[in-house]
A and B are shown apart, each in its own frame.
Chain A
Amino acid sequence: MKRTISVTVNGKVRRESVEPRLLLVHFLRDVLRLTGTHVGCDTSQCGACTVSMNGLAVKSCTILAVQADGAEITTIEGLARDGALHPIQAAFREHHGLQCGFCTPGMIMAAKQLLERYPAPTIEQIRDQLDGNICRCTGYHGIIKAIEAAARAMAEKGQAPTTGS
């Protein structure tokens, strides 16, 4: 039996009727056509499907859309403001934080939570907090540099890490 859910996605309330077995990632990609969130491994390992749900980074391939009823979701499409990249996005571009780009939306959403929890992270904290995200291109060094740079940029601007959510 279908259920009607109401989810605020990137600031916009979306009411849709969905099957209970629909996964959140397919709700975002196939129902709302927000295809920035990727399906990688589909087994809760790789983190490509990471989105922010009520302020927490979650793997949207392992959550039912009905579980997100009433939640606030931010996807990669919700980070840039008025055509300007979010500081984490800008830092990924500047510091070679991506190569093929497939893991990048999930990596950036995980980095967003990381910088909210650890605004001035050590390299160990960055590595540890990216445990749930796999990149097969960069060898991670560019990603770590990008996150360090994003932390500096956000601190310099006095910008709360939550900006853009």
Chain B
Amino acid sequence: MFPASFDYHKPGSIEEALELLTTLGADVKLLAGGHSLVPALKLRLTQPKHLIDLAGIAALKTVAVRENRLVLGAMTTHWQVESSPVVKAALPYLCEVAGLIADPQVRNRGTIGGSLVNADPAADYPASILALDAEMVCVGRGGRRIVHARDWFQGLLTAAIEEHEILSEIRIPLLPPRTAATYLKLRHPASRFAVVGVAAIVTVTQDQRCAEVRIGITGVGSCAKRAGSVEQQLVGHRLDATRIEAASAAACDGLEIDGDMHFSAEDKEQLCRTYVRRALLRTMHLAESGAFQPTRNAP
């Protein structure tokens, strides 16, 4: 399979890329790792006139901790997240999530920014980006704009980025003390995409009550969503198996789950409830055994 013809541009800076974005007209695509875009080009699902490759922009490859946030440049590959000592020290949970994406070859090329802008409904990162309450920094010629995770995923393959903007970095707040985190995924046996993926992040008090919980779900709806109804039933309570099971019944609220060629809507709903329950049980098991994520610095 061969893509249709296009012109290729490789700017060396964000400014140069923004300039190209505005001067080349509407028929432009940004190329990050290319592991969603190149297959789409080959299938001619998209036939842009111009491709702007972001690989030459060093500013998009930051991996650092600043002001209690893990800052990941949009061009950080899944393998870099999986193997980075900086990420491992600040938020090892995210290394695990990255290591579950696709396969090693794809992880060597695919990027966090590409995944978040593409907003594939079965991508892995979106569940965690929601549960971690991350911020996306979008730059345009008019300056920069910060979009919160809860506003980012807007629908099927639709993220809250404007036409002439570039996602430059993802800022992930480091976690408060006594916080445990789990990403649990049912992998599609062929594609390795998430049939359902649940990110559960729970902060517990000294007596193991839930002080704060955020649950992100990917795979089953048109885009990743928070499981707000489940979260509400957990805060303030001791999260034993009975409480978790009862709350997980609300996992599909607001998700608009449709069946597809592999699974009926009912099957997906059942899987969704089951994976929310299991992810919460595993997170509480981690919390009870003291396996917490590293803590942000005291302000």
> CB distance A131 to B192 under 8 Å?
yes
Quick one: which of B29-53 are within 8 Å of A by CB? 31, 34-35, 38-39, 41-42, 51, 53
> CB distance B8 to A59 under 8 Å?
no
B242 is an interface residue with CB less than 8 A from chain A: no
> CB distance B79 to A56 under 8 Å?
yes
CA distance in complex: A56, B31 (Å): 19
By size class, the interface of chain B is 20 to 34
A43-51, A74-82, A139-147 - the one binding chain B: A43-51
> CB distance B105 to A20 under 8 Å?
no
B106 is an interface residue with CB less than 8 A from chain A: yes
Q: Mark B37-74, 1 if CB is under 8 A from A, else 0.
A: 01101100000000101010000000000000000000
B103 is an interface residue with CB less than 8 A from chain A: yes
Per the CB 8 Å criterion, the residue count for chain A at the interface is 30
CA distance in complex: A49, B109 (Å): 14
Please give, as numbers and ranges, the residues of chain A lying within 8 Å of B2 by CB-CB distance: 21, 23, 26
Which single member of A67, A114, A131 contacts B34 (CB below 8 Å)?
A67
Which single member of B5, B7, B10, B104 contacts A129 (CB below 8 Å)?
B104
> CB distance A59 to B105 under 8 Å?
yes
A1-B7, A20-B8, A21-B2 in contact; A42/B105 too (CB < 8 A)? no
Please give, as numbers and ranges, the residues of chain B lying within 8 Å of A21 by CB-CB distance: 2-6, 41
> CB distance A132 to B7 under 8 Å?
no
| B237 smallest CB distance to A (angstroms) | 37
User: Which chain A residue lies CB-closest to B192?
Assistant: A131
CA distance in complex: A62, B107 (Å): 13
Quick one: which of B103-162 are within 8 Å of A by CB? 103-106, 108-109
> CB distance A59 to B53 under 8 Å?
no
B102 is an interface residue with CB less than 8 A from chain A: yes
A45-B190, A56-B79, A63-B38 in contact; A132/B5 too (CB < 8 A)? no
A19-B5, A21-B3, A42-B42 in contact; A64/B34 too (CB < 8 A)? yes
Please give, as numbers and ranges, the residues of chain A lying within 8 Å of B39 by CB-CB distance: 43-44, 62
Which single member of B4, B5, B8, B109 contacts A63 (CB below 8 Å)?
B109
> CB distance B192 to A56 under 8 Å?
no
| A160 smallest CB distance to B (angstroms) | 19
Please give, as numbers and ranges, the residues of chain B lying within 8 Å of A66 by CB-CB distance: 8, 10, 53
> CB distance A58 to B3 under 8 Å?
no
A110 is an interface residue with CB less than 8 A from chain B: yes
| B99 smallest CB distance to A (angstroms) | 9
A57 is an interface residue with CB less than 8 A from chain B: yes
> CB distance B102 to A132 under 8 Å?
yes
A64-B38, A67-B53, A131-B192 in contact; A58/B8 too (CB < 8 A)? no
Q: Give 19 new A-B contacts, CB below 8 A, not counting A1-B7, A23-B2.
A: A20-B5, A20-B6, A20-B51, A21-B2, A21-B6, A26-B2, A42-B42, A43-B42, A45-B190, A56-B109, A57-B104, A62-B34, A62-B38, A64-B34, A64-B38, A66-B53, A131-B103, A132-B103, A132-B104
12 contacting pairs across A/B (C-beta < 8 A) = A19-B5, A23-B42, A44-B35, A44-B39, A44-B106, A57-B104, A57-B105, A58-B105, A67-B55, A110-B104, A131-B104, A131-B192
Using a CB–CB cutoff of 8 Å, the interface residues on chain A facing chain B are: 1, 3, 19-21, 23, 26, 42-45, 47, 50, 56-59, 62-64, 66-67, 69, 110, 113-114, 129, 131-133
The 5 A-B pairs of least Cβ separation, nearest first, read A132-B103, A20-B8, A131-B103, A56-B108, A21-B3
